[in-house]
Amino acid sequence: MARVVAGARLHFGFANLSLSHERLYGGVGVAIDEPTVEVLAEPSSTIDVEIRTGETGSLRVDVAEYAERACEILDVSGASIAVRSSIPRHAGLGSGTQIALATLAGVARAHDREARVRERAPRLGRGGRSGLGVASFEAGGFLLDAGHPTARFTTKRPPAGEWEVPAVAARHAIPDDWRFLVVSPDVDPGRSGESEDKSIRTAVERAEPELADRIAGILTRRALPAVADGRAEAFGEAVAEIGRLNGAWYADEQGGVYRPPVGEVVAALSDAPAVHGAGQSSWGPAVYAVTDADRAEAAREAGRAALEAAGVDGRVRIVRGRNRGARVEPA
């Protein structure tokens, strides 16, 4: 039996959505230690999936599909999969890619095969825009992916499996004393599937190239130097600005720079002295902010106060950055 444990990720935004530039997308984000997905896999003559997390039946359907594809890719008879923990779905934390790759890696290890997740992720439908999920599964850290050639992707990505996962353009270890505040409001999930594809296409068709130029400057002159130097405050402010500029691209699709009521949570956190920068991860509703070990408890309180200010319930976590990839080992 094989065991795979992979962490979530925060998605700060894309480097470019304009068709006027050579590279499209280019995800910016960090791997985090919590929440995690844990999958057990063992050889079988059929596909069998057990969900032990209290999730809805849709998770079982998705895992069964990933397991079936993994068995086809690896040319093995089948697998018995047990999901012991999962990342909240469609919450802006990268659940889809992590459960897909964990299933592939588990089936491969159970059958003594090589997973080769980067090569095979497109056949699972992953890495078609952002390469952050795959890179996070592989090695963790702060990540910037290289994006896709604009000439190939235009407003619609190629058919499933006919793309390559974007290369990692930059990776830095996250400093040990940094922490990330993750606030998850109890509201409707973020966009996914066809709804997400439609929104992305619309945003790309309308995207102003000037925003990408501004983001490039923030990345090269602020975010990358800050993580390399270990300056949490400068890093938090830089990635929050990248998020705000991305929100301008999506404003018509999600009802503002941040989707409601995420904007109220972000606004409350922006005034909290215990955190540096705040923003929406991917389509939300997860909200992030940067802090450090010394201010972790004050940041937690700021997260609770932000939920209260927005008039919603939710969960508040203080998590470490994850500087390693998924753990794949015997169970």
Cα–Cα distances (Å) from 236 to 40, 109, 144, 193, 270, in that order, read 36, 38, 15, 30, 11
Percent of the chain with pLDDT over 70: 97
What proportion of the chain, given as a percentage, has pLDDT over 90? 87
Q: Are 94 and 128 in contact (CB under 8 A)?
A: no
Domain that holds residue 157: 2-171
Predicted confidence band at 159 (pLDDT cuts at 50, 70, 90)? confident
Q: How far apart are CA 195 and CA 259, in angstroms?
A: 15
Residues in the chain: 331
Query: What is the pLDDT at residue 172?
Result: 98
Residue 331 lies in a domain: no
pLDDT over 80 at 328, yes or no: yes
How many structural domains are present in the chain? 2
Are both 104 and 196 inside the same structural domain? no
Q: For position 199, what pLDDT does the model report?
A: 82
- pLDDT tens-digit series, residues 298-309: 999 999 999 999
Q: Same domain, yes or no, for 130 and 262?
A: no
pLDDT one-digit tens code per residue, 177-205? 999 999 999 998 766 777 778 888 888 98
Helical pair 296-310 and 262-270, crossing angle rounded to 10 deg: 140
Domain end marker among 171, 187, 205: 171
User: 16-50, pLDDT tens digit by residue?
Assistant: 999 999 999 999 999 999 999 999 999 999 999 99
Does residue 280 register a pLDDT over 80? yes
Q: For residue 324, is it within any domain?
A: no
Domain assignment of residue 329, yes or no: no
**Using 50, 70 and 90 to split pLDDT, how confident is the model at 56?**
low
Write down which residue in 140, 171, 202 finishes a domain. 171
Are 51 and 125 members of one domain? yes
Between 77-91, 199-213, 274-288, the lowest mean confidence (pLDDT) is in 199-213
17 and 157 within one domain:
yes
At residue 281 the predicted structure's pLDDT band, cuts being 50, 70 and 90, is: very high
pLDDT at 171: 98
* Within-domain flag for 326: no
**Residue ending a domain, choose from 126, 141, 171:** 171
248 Cβ neighbours under 8 A, 6+ residues apart: 208, 211, 257
101-149 pLDDT tens trace: 999 999 999 999 999 999 999 999 999 999 999 999 999 999 999 999 9
Give the model's pLDDT for residue 217.
98
**Alpha-carbon distance 29 to 97, whole Å?**
14
pTM for the full model? 0.95
Supply the pLDDT for residue 158.
78
Closest by CA position to 46, among listed 77, 81, 1: 77
Residues 115 and 77 in one domain: yes
Does position 227 have pLDDT exceeding 70, yes or no? yes
C-alpha distances in Å from residue 175, one per residue of 231, 273, 309:
9, 20, 31
Mean pLDDT within 149-154: 82
Q: Which residues contact 125 (CB under 8 A, 6 or more apart)?
A: 100, 160, 161
Q: Are residues 158 and 190 in the same domain?
A: no
57-108: per-residue pLDDT in tens?
Answer: 789 999 999 999 999 999 999 999 999 999 999 999 999 999 999 999 999 9
Q: Residue 97: its pLDDT value, please? A: 97
The confidence score (pLDDT) of residue 54 equals 76
Beta bridge partners of 170: 144
Confidence band, pLDDT 50/70/90 cuts, at residue 155: low
Mean pLDDT estimate for the chain: 94
Residue 274 and residue 162 share a domain: no
For residue 325, is it within any domain? no
